[in-house]
Amino acid sequence: MTSLLTVKRLRVSFRQAFKKVDAVRGVSFEVYPGETIGIVGESGSGKSVMVKALLKLFSSPSACIEEGEAIYNSQNLLSLPEKLLQAVRGKEIGIIFQDPMSSLNPTMKVGEQILESLLKHNPHMSRKEASLKTLSLLSLVGIPEPKARMQQYPHELSGGMRQRIMIALALAPSPKILIADEPTTALDVTIQAQILQLLKDIQKATGTSILLITHDLSIVAGFCDRVLVMYAGKIVETASVESLFKQPKHPYTQKLLASIPRLDQDVSTPLQPIRGSPPDLSLPQPGCSFVSRCQMPLHICLHESPPLFSIEQGLCACWHYDKRCTEKSL
């Protein structure tokens, strides 16, 4: 199957007064039509920065794309001039931001915000057609009384309603890829389940590929097809959901899964926290970034960063899977 989006060697940094923070360090992955990819990892692992870099949606002026390619429709998104990139943002690749209250315009009615998106990406569409399409989108995302909601401002709606508006706004131009940046973080469990089911239903109806950024592995287990595990700005493991939960390979993935409660475990089984802290990415990282928290490091881990090794279940950045390595753990 031909990939819809191919990202190669993406490096993103943030330049500060006296230092440079390497937030994303040489990331490569592919997105295929109709699949759902979960991107997981601790806060600060580079998940959101990585996907926002694809559309150059940085909130900080100090952000800099150091290297890399993001090939979509035979063109590199990272080298496109702003005018051409605007044609891709929203229309081809949509994004649902984490906090709908700060992402929606508080001075515009929600219906006008969706109308604006439709008219921008469909210049030949009449305002009447756009209004009907807006009503259809609001109905699609489960908004009751959509005609009345079109006349309301974001602050007049609940958190779940605002998140549905954000989804409708992202879906308005019919994108082929939808980036969902922790879309359920601020919602209660019931609304969270409704939003995820809504995304699944929309994907079945439209065939949209979804990139779901989350720190909640329970969401990944029930929603995604494939998982990218990120640590310290790098992808350390890639696998199908089934393989990842049954046989996690990277020490970090193993510890992530051991730190959350499971329904198939006895309630008396203690959870295992990941001791230590992620490395300071403003400092040189000569070896494996996880070495100080790993329980089975090798000598090579101290001075050489592992590449992604191809294994039966997918890819894993750990020297233990280098067939040429004969070292024993320190």
* 293-324 pLDDT per residue, tens: 998 899 999 999 999 999 988 999 999 998 77
Q: Which of 101-105, 200-204, 238-242, 268-272 has the highest mean pLDDT?
A: 238-242
Helices assigned H by DSSP within the chain: 47-54, 82-88, 100-103, 110-121, 127-140, 146-149, 159-171, 189-206, 217-223, 241-246, 251-258
- Greater pLDDT, 325 or 256: 256
Residues 6+ apart with CB under 8 A from 104: 110, 113, 154, 162, 165, 166, 169
- Nearest partner of 58 among 12, 90, 102, judged by Cα: 12
Instruction: Please count the helices (runs of H) and the strands (runs of E) in the chain.
Output: 11, 12
- Greater pLDDT, 40 or 268: 40
How much is the mean pLDDT over the chain? 89
Placement of tokens 């990218």 in the chain: 228
Average pLDDT over residues 27-45: 94
Residues 6+ apart with CB under 8 A from 83: none
- Residue type (1 letter), 58: F
At 103 the pLDDT is 83
Assign 327 a pLDDT band (cuts: 50, 70, 90): low
Average pLDDT over residues 79-108: 88
Whether the predicted pLDDT of 328 surpasses 70: no
Residue 321 CA to chain centroid, in angstroms? Answer: 26
Q: How many CB atoms lie within 10 A of CB 197?
A: 13
Beta-bridged to residue 30, according to DSSP, are 6
Cβ atoms of residues 240 and 248 within 8 Å: no
Tokens of 125: 């569409």
Residues 6+ apart with CB under 8 A from 87: none
Summarize pLDDT for 179-224 with one digit per residue, the tens. 998 887 767 788 778 888 888 888 888 889 999 998 888 889 888 9
Summarize pLDDT for 94-124 with one digit per residue, the tens. 998 877 777 899 999 999 999 998 998 888 8
Query: DSSP character for 61?
Result: T
Whether the predicted pLDDT of 330 surpasses 60: no
Average pLDDT over residues 234-258: 94
- In what order do the strands lie in the sheet containing 226-231? 93-96, 177-181, 209-213, 36-40, 226-231, 234-240, 314-316, 309-311
In this prediction the pTM is: 0.90
Measured CA to CA, the distance from residue 310 to residue 330 in angstroms comes to: 24
Cβ atoms of residues 95 and 103 within 8 Å: no
